[in-house]
Amino acid sequence: MKNCPQCNAPAEDFIRICLKCGYRYKESERSENPVISVSVEDSAAAKSKARKLKPKQKRNLRPTKYFYTAVAVILIVVITVAVLSIRGCSSEEVAEKIYLPMEQDGKYGYVDSVGEFIIQPMFSEASFFYAEEFSEKEFAIVRVNNDYGVIDKEGNFLIQPQFDEMQPFASNGLALVKIGSKYGYVDINGTYIINPQFQQAKSFNEVGLAMVTLDGKLTFINENGNIVLQPAQEILNDYTADGLARIIKDKHYGFIDLKGLEVISAELAYADNFSEGMARVSEQGKSGYIDKSGKYVIEPQYSYAGAYSNGYAVVGNNDLYGYIDKEGKTVISLIYQDAKPVDENGLAACKLTNKWGLINMKGKKICDFAYSEIGSFADCGLALVKKDGLFGYVNLKGDETIDVQFTLAEPFNVLGYAYVEAEDWHGYINAEGEKCITLYHAQNE
């Protein structure tokens, strides 16, 4: 599992685009042996072959006064159906403006649900559009040559391209930007709320602070740019949603609160960040969990212990894995070869007999252990799976609603579309499996 270098959203190794911001991973930012490696632009460059239609047999029809009108109407209907059939989407979807980032000849623009450009390709990079409370308009971050800016859905610049770097806007409406060698923060109008002055900086975190380096010192500031804290301790990570930051002192780990007070003394042999009020700690080769007071909730007893996710944590002993709840109760026995964190749907991917399947936290099998890969569920409720070298999609019930058939595929993005490749067709499908945007079509001779 890796994080997107642009918005820090989690991303699995076998995908090549961030589902949150649209950032397309470079080869160096992905695993050494990614499952998916062919780019959209390579597919788009392929040329379609012309289809030759067989002539229909003539029929001996006697024309009436309505005959030619009827023929004209039928031809219009046939042509419309044929066009929609090639596109793959229903007539209701033809004019839908989804604003999907699309590359053409090295430049990005935005297309509708049938692949027609709404905003012409003119950008070196382009994110998905965001809808946020702090902005009256939906907006996207784009790069023109070497400069980043922000556009609306009409293609007008809300912020002219001017920044060397730009991160997605935080929930407080501020975006981290870089000009020259200094970092600062701007609002949706491009106005500097905190002037560029920091040697290093991060976006505002979940507790409303930003970690910056000022005059060589690690510092936390609020959204007004005021210094809130300059910790004396060596901080390893930013504050989490639990309001604690991990520190290290004399090779031992502890935690400070938002005031910089060492609320959990740096006496632990090892500690991870807090997640859902619990932090994994290790002593003498075994791992357990402490709460925010520093007390052990689950004594060290596992050779592996993962972060809590949606109320459960993956734990393991002797290379076998299962799940525990926050009281330390084993809810899923340690019988699996591998296991992934529980998602917001209460489902988890586990590996048994060298194949991946899905279970819930009652131990019920949701789908068969039949896949070499199972990805995370997208907003549309579908997860990418791989079996026998081909890709398809399963739903939350474990049903293979889009059959395993594609030679390459991506997870569904935030707009509800997924890029796929088959032998004779490359393009985007919707959650019903319909072909919507054709990038390559090898038509029959």
Tell me what percent of the residues of the chain surpass a pLDDT of 90: 77
Residue 229 token pair: 């804290």
Residue 204 lies in a domain: no
- The predicted-structure confidence for 399-422, as pLDDT tens digits, reads as follows 999 999 999 999 999 999 999 999
What does the DSSP 8-state code read for residue 233? Answer: S
Q: Which among 308, 337, 358 is the end of a domain?
A: 308
Q: Are 4 and 20 in contact (CB under 8 A)?
A: yes
End position of a domain, from candidates 288, 308, 328: 308
Please write the tens of the pLDDT for every residue from 340-354.
999 999 999 999 999
- Side by side, the strands of the sheet bearing 217-221 are 200-201, 210-214, 217-221, 227-229
Task: Give the domain CATH number at 279.
Answer: 2.40.10
The answer on 300 and 348 residing in a single domain is no
Pairing of strands 270-275, 278-283: antiparallel
- Residue 437 banded pLDDT, cuts 50, 70, 90: very high
* 274 and 337 fall within a common domain: no
For 251, phi then psi, to 5°, come to 65, 20
Please, what is the end-to-end C-alpha distance for the chain in angstroms?
44
In a domain, 318, yes or no: yes
Going by C-alpha positions, the residue among 334, 365, 335 that lies closest to residue 349 is 365
Number of domains in the chain: 3
pLDDT mean across residues, the chain: 85
Are 302 and 354 found together in one domain?
A: no
| Domain presence at residue 14 | yes
User: Does any domain span residue 179?
Assistant: no
User: What would the pLDDT profile of 18-71 be if each residue is shown by its tens digit?
Assistant: 655 555 555 445 443 332 222 223 222 222 222 222 233 333 333 444 444 544
Cα–Cα distances in Å, from 150 out to 9, 11, 186, 192, 396? 20, 24, 11, 14, 36
Q: How confident is the model at residue 443 (pLDDT cuts 50, 70, 90)?
A: confident
Query: Which residue range(s) make up the domain with 258?
Result: 231-308
The pTM (predicted TM-score) of the whole model is 0.79
Among candidate residues 267, 293, 308, the one where a domain is terminated: 308
